[in-house]
């Protein structure tokens, strides 16, 4: 309407001036300008209305926090995103394929080849019994380090692809566990038995890990026998059964016994019942029975001792006789009702906090990922690392490089042990080495938005294990994400007459996270890579307590955490391998020992004072390099290459900083301790040997009398360490005294364990000085620091008007929860 009025008034003005008929050309051009004016006003009006609408919508979005950003849920300028993505793209480093775990094709080739060897008489694990020959596990055998380095440097051929295979040979006479190397995968394949003097290769069958084939017969033979003989005891004492039990069921659990406590050649374990309610490990009962499962014929397995109501019976017949004759104490416990089920449950408690549905803080990535995963390589800023997931050992980080130089050849977790104590016969032998459960198969089911940030990248793995009925994909095996720790990597504020200064850098890091669940415990492993060239390895513990039925005698060993529930003091220990390569493999290990010395003050003659000094202590041998923590002898552990020095003459190196250590209290060589000699030291350093791949094995839970892998042998040969290829072995841990707040489940704040691998005169200056994430502020005029300042931030502190779409994958889970629970 407004445009129409302007046109009519223009025509009216022209008529009054008498120019409508006699000035055709002028009127024609005047009409064009009128039309253009009309169009301009219309467009301006539309743009104004659009702008107002956009502002309103944007304000509403800011209020609701539902607006999106980029493909991870953030708003992002498309051109900027495209330019950055192009810069970030990279091809995998030449040669990194040598670190890849076996592919689906390679595993199938190994399985088919071994099954074609008729003399092995192998059966599919789905059909296996205890008295069968079958493949227990398959994984890539990491090539000899020197061959790999030669290949990476272009000086040698690519090492052969090989597999390590464990065979359970229950049908042989005598039965055994055989370890094979299978090579020539995909071409002219071959297999050979492992033969080395660095560890035991003739593995007795009785120290094998439990398999699905064995558990089938535990239920079929042993548990069925218990129910048949003691059904009335279970019903009268606990009101529940393990089979045909409706909604009141018992769950079976067990603790294997190390051969350090058994007669030669025997295999035994304590089995016990718990209430099958959320969560069983904190619902113990006082019915334990000792099973001898030495024979490969399950029909010959025997129930030996029975422990009930704090009494031991030599066999089940005597126990039942005395029970039926009312000559012993009897337990009477009710199956948990709905109210009692809340104890130990992870259901929400009310009232919910906060009262309003206010969301927790979240991190965002305003420009998308600053890291990338290509096949088996992660690239982040100046960092690159390869990875593989071993069936038996779990996640290994390999060929870790900073700015193109290898810092670490291998960084990996070796073993997790938990050692309990207690009054009852179960707790007295309850020592777990979790590697028996095959760590690689425990990497699975990480939940986006909780286990890892919603914008993390998740990596699937493909592994072979008989307990998984062969080869399979493990979804969401581990995750990779960038974390702003909101701690400071560096910061300084200064003010004085000569000027003012502020400089700071928040510590962001790439995190490679894996979580393993072993029955009741969950362990969170974080490998963190910082822009200053440092690496942090961190372990957090959560999950449920392992408990036993409460009797007053248990108080000496721990805490009563609930009615009828006792939780004992226990020791968690974690062992790691760090194969450092500082400017190559010719390295040295020395400690910079801090001591005090009484000195005469040269400026005030006749007066003396104590001064802290540093003494360098070069470790010449493996025995000399053993480290046991002592507050009285503070020191810095430095690995260096004396062929490379800084302009100031300092040798370039890295240091290892240990935190959260726990002393192993059991005397050397006693019981289970003999199988975990690495736990005697907070750190040991050995010369690299290809045969010394791991500090532990899948047999550690059973083989303490004569360990398959005896770490002490790595040290006892006492090789020289000067200018050699060195491997450090690190133990961190904690003694955990349970308390009621551990239930239903909790990470104990302050019990996170870690160690750091940090530069020590390796760089000429802090490499994080190159970080675009830093900020520097200086006055425009240093004589007038209050009159404004220059802010330098290289574009990374631009406003970010977006929030992450950080939802749980609820829609996926409601339709298919395979990735989480399979």
Could you give the CA distance from residue 796 to residue 220 in angstroms, rounded to a whole number? 64
Sort 490 into a burial class: Cβ within 10 Å, 0-12 / 13-18 / 19+. Answer: middle
Taking each helix axis as running N to C, give the angle between helix 224-238 and helix 316-324, from 0 to 180 degrees, rounded to the nearest 10: 30
Largest CA distance in the chain: 133
Task: Supply 686's token pair.
Answer: 């050995």
Distances (CA, A) of 613 to 591, 593, 597, 605, 642: 13, 8, 7, 20, 22
Give pairs for 55-58: CB < 8 Å, separation 24+: 58/801
Element spanning 319, H or E: helix 316-324
Distances (CA, A) of 54 to 57, 58, 59, 168, 202: 5, 6, 8, 68, 75
Task: Supply 690's token pair.
Answer: 């290809």
Residue 90 near residue 377 (C-beta atoms within 8 A): no
Could you give the CA distance from residue 688 to residue 149 in angstroms, rounded to a whole number? 14
Element spanning 36, H or E: helix 24-64
Could you give the CA distance from residue 515 to residue 320 in angstroms, rounded to a whole number? 44
| Known catalytic residue at 521 | yes
Bridge partner list, 270? 255, 290
Task: Supply 502's token pair.
Answer: 């502020």
Bridge partner list, 727? 686
Cis check for the bond before 354: say yes or no (omega within 30 of 0). Answer: yes
Task: Supply 291's token pair.
Answer: 């099973």
Task: Supply 300's token pair.
Answer: 């010959």
Residue 466 near residue 133 (C-beta atoms within 8 A): no
Strands (E), 334-381: 371-374, 377-380
Could you give the CA distance from residue 658 to residue 681 in angstroms, rounded to a whole number? 12
User: Which one from 67, 380, 409, 521 is the annotated catalytic residue?
Assistant: 521
Could you give the CA distance from residue 453 to residue 364 in angstroms, rounded to a whole number? 10
CA dihedral 629, 630, 633, 634 (to 10 degrees): 60
Residues in the chain: 822
User: Which one from 434, 451, 526, 725 is the annotated catalytic residue?
Assistant: 434
HSE, CB side, 13 Å, CA atoms: give it for residue 469: 5
Q: Is residue 88 classed as helix, strand or coil in its secondary structure?
A: helix
Element spanning 213, H or E: helix 212-217
Could you give the CA distance from residue 163 to residue 101 in angstroms, rounded to a whole number? 9
Could you give the CA distance from residue 540 to residue 633 in angstroms, rounded to a whole number? 28
| DSSP 8-state secondary structure symbol assigned to residue 774 | -
Distances (CA, A) of 373 to 92, 398, 437: 9, 14, 28
Q: Is residue 350 classed as helix, strand or coil in its secondary structure?
A: coil
Could you give the CA distance from residue 811 to residue 37 in angstroms, rounded to a whole number? 54
HSE, CB side, 13 Å, CA atoms: give it for residue 583: 20
Q: Which residues are catalytic?
A: 434, 521
């Amino acid at each position: 309407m407004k445009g129409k009025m302007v046109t009519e008034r223009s025509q009216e003005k022209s008529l009054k001036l008498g120019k409508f008929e006699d000035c055709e050309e002028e009127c024609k051009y005047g009409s064009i300008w009128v039309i253009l004016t009309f169009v301009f006003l219309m467009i301006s009006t539309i743009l104004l209305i659009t702008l107002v609408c956009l502002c309103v919508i944007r304000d509403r979005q800011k209020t609701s926090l539902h607006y999106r950003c980029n493909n991870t849920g953030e708003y992002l300028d498309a051109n900027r995103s495209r330019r950055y993505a192009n810069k970030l793209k990279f091809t995998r480093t030449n040669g990194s394929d040598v670190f890849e775990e076996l592919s689906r094709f390679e595993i199938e080739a190994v399985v088919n080849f071994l099954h074609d060897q008729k003399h092995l008489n192998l059966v599919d694990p789905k059909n296996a019994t205890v008295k069968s020959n079958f493949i227990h596990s398959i994984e890539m055998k990491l090539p000899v380090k020197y061959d790999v380095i030669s290949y990476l440097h272009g000086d040698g051929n690519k090492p052969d692809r090989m597999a390590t295979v464990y065979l359970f040979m229950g049908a042989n006479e005598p039965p055994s566990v055989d370890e094979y190397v299978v090579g020539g995968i995909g071409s002219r394949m071959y297999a050979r038995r492992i033969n080395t003097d660095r560890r035991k290769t003739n593995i007795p069958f009785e120290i094998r890990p439990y398999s699905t084939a064995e558990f089938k017969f535990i239920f079929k033979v042993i548990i069925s026998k218990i129910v048949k003989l003691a059904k009335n005891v279970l019903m009268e004492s606990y009101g529940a059964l393990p089979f045909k039990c409706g909604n009141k069921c018992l769950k079976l659990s067990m603790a294997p016994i190390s051969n350090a406590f058994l007669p030669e050649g025997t295999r035994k374990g304590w089995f016990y019942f718990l209430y099958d309610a959320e969560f069983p490990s904190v619902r113990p009962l006082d019915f334990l029975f000792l099973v001898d499962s030495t024979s490969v014929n399950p029909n010959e397995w025997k129930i030996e001792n029975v422990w009930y109501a704090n009494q031991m019976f030599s066999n089940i017949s005597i126990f039942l006789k005395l029970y039926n004759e009312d000559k012993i104490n009897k337990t009477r416990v009710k199956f948990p009702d709905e109210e009692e089920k809340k104890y130990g449950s992870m259901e929400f408690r009310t009232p919910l906090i906060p009262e309003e549905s206010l969301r927790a803080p979240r991190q965002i990535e305003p420009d998308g990922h600053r890291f990338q995963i290509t096949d088996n390589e992660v690239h982040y800023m100046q960092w690159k690392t390869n990875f593989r997931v071993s069936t038996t050992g779990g996640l290994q980080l390999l060929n870790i490089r900073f700015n193109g130089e290898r810092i670490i050849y291998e960084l990996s977790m070796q073993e997790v042990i938990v050692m309990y104590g207690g009054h009852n016969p179960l707790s007295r032998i309850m020592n777990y080495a979790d590697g028996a459960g095959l760590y690689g198969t425990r990497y699975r089911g990480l939940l986006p938005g909780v286990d890892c940030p919603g914008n993390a990248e998740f990596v699937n793995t493909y592994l072979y294990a008989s307990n998984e009925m062969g080869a399979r994909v493990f979804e969401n095996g581990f995750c990779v994400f960038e974390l702003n720790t909101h701690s400071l990597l560096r910061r300084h504020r200064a003010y004085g007459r000569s000027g003012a200064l502020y400089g700071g850098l928040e510590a962001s890091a790439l995190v490679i996270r894996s979580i393993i669940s072993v029955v009741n415990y969950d362990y969170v492993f974080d490998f963190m890579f910082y822009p200053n060239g440092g690496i942090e390895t961190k372990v957090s513990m959560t999950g449920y307590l392992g408990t036993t039925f409460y009797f007053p005698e248990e108080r000496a060993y721990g805490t009563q955490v609930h009615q009828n529930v006792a939780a004992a003091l226990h020791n968690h220990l974690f062992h790691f391998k760090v194969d450092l390569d500082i400017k190559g493999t010719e390295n040295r290990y020395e400690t910079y020992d801090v001591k005090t010395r009484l000195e005469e003050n040269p400026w005030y003659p006749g007066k003396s004072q104590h001064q802290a000094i540093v003494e360098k202590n070069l470790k010449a041998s493996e025995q000399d390099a053993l480290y046991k923590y002592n507050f009285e002898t503070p020191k810095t552990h430095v690995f260096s290459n004396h062929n490379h020095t800084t302009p100031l003459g300092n040798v370039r190196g890295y240091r290892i900083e240990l935190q959260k250590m726990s002393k192993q209290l059991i005397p050397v060589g006693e019981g289970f301790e003999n199988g975990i000699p690495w736990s005697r030291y907070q750190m040991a350093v050995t010369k690299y040997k290809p045969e010394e791949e791991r500090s532990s094995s899948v047999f550690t839970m059973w083989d303490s009398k004569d360990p398959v892998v005896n770490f002490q042998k790595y040290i006892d040969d006492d090789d020289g360490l000067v200018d050699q290829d060195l491997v450090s072995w690190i133990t961190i841990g904690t003694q955990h005294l349970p308390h009621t707040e551990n239930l239903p489940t909790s990470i104990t704040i302050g019990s996170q364990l870690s160690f750091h691998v940090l530069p020590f005169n390796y760089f000429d200056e802090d490499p994080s000085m190159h970080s675009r994430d830093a900020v520097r502020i200086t006055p425009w005029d240093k004589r007038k620091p209050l009159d404004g300042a220059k802010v330098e931030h290289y574009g990374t502190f631009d406003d970010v008007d977006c929030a992450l779409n950080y939802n749980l994958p609820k829609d996926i889970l409601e339709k298919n929860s395979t990735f989480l629970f399979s």
